[in-house]
Structure 1
């Protein structure tokens, strides 16, 4: 009896040691693994569509990986390269711009305390530092990029091919009643979809359209401004008006009336309404996520995971809430 108890303690200790070593082993590539699982979930409906016509799961997964490389990774690398250039260009442009034409619109009682030049330059400086601080996380060395992408695509391939089996096995291994297990997995899928489609995809659409209208109107550095608008759109209580309202006013104050009016109309009738029209359709039957969770997740995620934390932060918090709710329900019964 005593030997049996000692054996159990030994196995538990051995398990904890190797679990600790496993965590140390995985930590350097944990972001690539998590990102792979998130992207696999986001693109899983497209994988199922391909698999409907291409019966081989492995071949369907390979096609999906190739499409992601061609449609997302390569264009994304080009955009990041342009973004870095336009970040410096925007800051230089603001430093050299004469804001005296704007200061004359400031009321006299504020003229001593408000200086458009100082204010706007300070904002651009902070945005520039944000991008400079977090783009190394996106770029890194060539070796880090290649290793990260290899691991990400490797995990994605098997997540596409064997995702159904993984979910089924996890469901069987969870120490919960079967009805709670199925609800837990279902709710996990819903909140993940709510974050990815309701906030991330909506923010990308707003940033793309914002950058596009800047490009069409000939406003400098549209990729930079589109990127900033996408980030702001993902953060509750902020949004794209922080960029396009001042931009349209600057165009009006500097005599570019047509540009300013078009930008205001586009912002009020298109960009703002994306939240009201497109977001509910993208979320659909998926779970809505509280804005406070998104806000805390984005800010905290940036600090912990770097740039990818914009996606991972809110996702981790929402999944934690779902898991805590169901485990509390399980222990109550």
Structure 2
């Protein structure tokens, strides 16, 4: 083989090897890095507004502090409260009594499902998670530092990053592709995260008003399942209404049905369409597949990262085919 041919193949091979090594270097921090860029995208309007009145570095710091105070701190408090309620609920007499009643239904005996075993496994998972969380505090602290630094530099260097991304886009019409990707991002993020937050707040207030002790757990589950368009809240509120009726709580059951219909008909259908309508339409199937695959690959962050990556891929393939 001639030297020219060796050089021809050596550079691509070296790039691939370096890319693989680089991936293994950053893989443990992939989620905080991706989360930083996503949040930077979401808070860019705030940053741009502040940038007009002050230096961009200060505008970025204030924007990040707002995110920490308005989003991250409440989120941490909610997660701790949900875990506390969940731990308490799994060992409560109420759940044990409910399991005893539901276990007598023919469907569970026919399928051989032991709800007591499931409860025991859930308790083990929660205890194990809390233990792992405590042991992982140093790693979490490092991830947070990387997250905030990445978000800071993403805000102040956004234009440069966009220019570099455009340069690597596999399409003749790079501007059009970048606009489509931005629309997909807005549709997935605004149409999912915002809807999840709205459904969480409504269900939190609803379950609290009708006197459900473990309102935080139910609201958190509804918030998570709301990422699945059409099905999300119904997966939670329909069984909850049935269980409340079985427990002899007609007011709680009726209140849950009313709240559930508001969530499913108005928030999950009408409001979601209004919010997502500003961007590219994202098919519910791609959202569902993206969430399931994302959860398997990224854990809880897959609720957002899975649909985003899948829809980016579909958009890019579509543009390549059109070219």
User: Into which bin does the TM-score normalised by the smaller protein fall?
Assistant: 0.7 to 0.9
SS in 1 for 2:232: coil
Matches within 5 A, 1:239-318: 239-318=232-311
**Matched residue SS, 1:240:** helix
Paired with 1:272 and 1:139, the residues of 2 have a C-alpha distance of: 40
CA contact (8 A) 2:237 2:260 kept: yes
Residues in 2 aligned to 1:237 and 1:74: alpha-carbon distance in whole angstroms: 30
**Could you say if the C-alpha distance between residues 126 and 318 of structure 1 is closer, same or farther in structure 2, counting changes exceeding 3 Å?**
farther
* Native 8 Å contact 1:137 1:306 kept in 2: no
The alpha carbon displacement at 1:184 in A equals 0.7
Whole-angstrom CA distance in 2 between matches of 1:328 and 1:4: 33
Aligned residues: 319
Give 1:137 deviation, angstroms.
8.6
TM-score using structure 1 length: 0.83
Question: Residue in 2 aligned with 1:71?
Answer: 70
What pairs with 1:4-83 in structure 2 (closer than 5 Å)?
A: 4-52=4-52, 54-83=53-82
The 2-side partners of 1:130 and 1:208 are apart by: 26
Q: Where does the alignment leave 5 or more consecutive residues of structure 1 unmatched?
A: 104-109
- Please say which of residues 198-207 and 151-160 is displaced more in the overlay: 198-207
TM-score where L is the length of structure 2: 0.86
Residue 301 to residue 5, structure 1, CA distance change in 2 (3 Å): same
Does the CA-based 8 Å contact 1:134-1:307 persist in structure 2? Answer: no
What SS is found at the alignment partner of 2:211? coil
Measured after TM superposition, the shift of residue 81 of structure 1 is 1.2
Equivalent pair of 2:245/2:253 in contact (CA under 8 Å): yes
Contact 2:87 2:126 in 1 (8 A): no
Q: Alignment partner of 1:218: what SS?
A: coil
Query: Alignment RMSD, CA only?
Result: 3.1
1:200–1:234 Cα contact (<8 Å) kept? yes
**CA–CA distance in structure 2, aligned partners of residues 290 and 50 of structure 1:** 35
Distance (Å, rounded) in 1 between the aligned partners of 2:269 and 2:105: 38
Counterparts of 1:1-333 in structure 2, within 5 Å, are 2-52=2-52, 54-93=53-92, 94-97=94-97, 112-113=106-107, 141-174=136-169, 176-177=171-172, 180-330=173-323
Q: Classify 1:132/1:276 alpha carbon distance in 2 versus 1 (closer, same or farther; 3 Å).
A: farther
Indicate the SS of the match to 1:234: coil
Which structure 2 residue ranges, 5 or more long, are not aligned? none
